[in-house]
Amino acid sequence: MALTQVSSNKCAGGLQKVYEHESTELMCKMKFAIFLPSKAETNKLPVLYWLSGLTCTEQNFITKAGSQLSAEEHGIIIVAPDTSPRGCNIEGEDESWDFGTGAGFYVDATQDPWKTNYRMYSYITNELPKLINANFSANPDKMSISGHSMGGHGALICAMKNPGKYKSVSAFAPICNPMQCPWGQKAFAGYLGSDRSTWEAYDATVLAGSYTGPQLDILIDQGRDDQFLSASQLLPDNLISVCSEKNIAVVFRLQPGYDHSYFFIYSFFNDHMKHHAKYLNI
């Protein structure tokens, strides 16, 4: 699969790049950002996949999270894809900020007119890693995953649906129980249809209840002053309760004064890199 370089910037000793390619899963052009630490010039390095939230592109994370310094320090490649297909000319794709463009929700859609293009789950777990492993100095046996909000939901379900594929998982303010919140109900109904039993395959709280794979060590940071926490969109208590019943290890940190923004992510991203480095640098 041919890659076209969109940009390249020296950063923190490494290179922050953006590429574009034709996606076979999504049937459109997709962009992803990749930070290559200086060690990538001579070594195959582990990869952290970062999944962004509603309305984001590949740009939000690389310009706001301050991730490059810790990625360089730990020698970890970070890949940050776009959040959804774009420009597919689907009727209604740009009508709302929480569905369609910028809101792929990391599912494989089964409903018309979305099912041809909106296959972000398969893109993230299959096509994108193959692309990265084939074109960059990535160690294919050392992958981890993280994300924010809708992307935190994506990171959790990717880890739970693929036991052992990812060495570690973390999330900032994830949508933990989308079947029970307005954002998730809108997205799942549109992409997956009215049969709620099909939604369970993409709900971290439900997946945790039936998880039987290798031990997960999950790190979640949540801002206490997050407006979407108080609006019952994120529902972390539901996930924590199920993980406790199933003896799935979760470190949940409620951070006083922090909201849902990238200021919050910037403040604690280094902790998440240390969490992933424990598993990726073994």
271: annotated active-site residue: no
Please pick, among 84, 149, 168, 267, the residue that the annotation labels catalytic.
Answer: 149
148: annotated active-site residue: no
Amino acid 1: pLDDT = 66
What confidence tens digit (pLDDT) does each residue in 131-188 have?
999 999 999 999 999 999 999 999 999 999 999 999 999 999 999 999 999 999 999 9
> Which whole number is the average pLDDT over 108-128?
98
Amino acid 281: pLDDT = 86
Please pick, among 226, 267, 272, 276, the residue that the annotation labels catalytic.
Answer: 226
256 is written with which tokens? 């006083």
What confidence tens digit (pLDDT) does each residue in 185-242 have?
999 999 999 999 999 999 999 999 999 999 999 999 999 999 999 999 999 999 999 9
67 is written with which tokens? 């991730």
Residues 91 and 100: beta-carbon distance below 8 Å: no
**Average confidence score pLDDT of the chain:** 97
Closest CA to 133 of 77, 182, 92: 77
Please pick, among 74, 153, 260, 272, the residue that the annotation labels catalytic.
Answer: 260
Q: Cα–chain-centroid distance for residue 189?
A: 21
Multiple choice CATH, 4-280, 3.40.1830.10, 3.30.365.10, 3.40.50.10540, 3.40.50.1820: 3.40.50.1820
- Residue ranges per structural domain of the chain: 4-280
Amino acid 146: pLDDT = 98
Q: 210: burial class by Cβ within 10 Å (0-12, 13-18, 19+)?
A: exposed
Closest CA to 216 of 159, 155, 176, 145: 159
Q: Give, for 60, the enclosing helix (H) or strand (E).
A: helix 59-64
What φ, ψ does residue 92 adopt, rounded to 5°? 90, 0
226: annotated active-site residue: yes
- What span, in angstroms and rounded, lies between the C-alpha atoms of 200 and 220? 21
Task: For residue 50, name the pLDDT band (cuts at 50, 70, 90).
Answer: very high
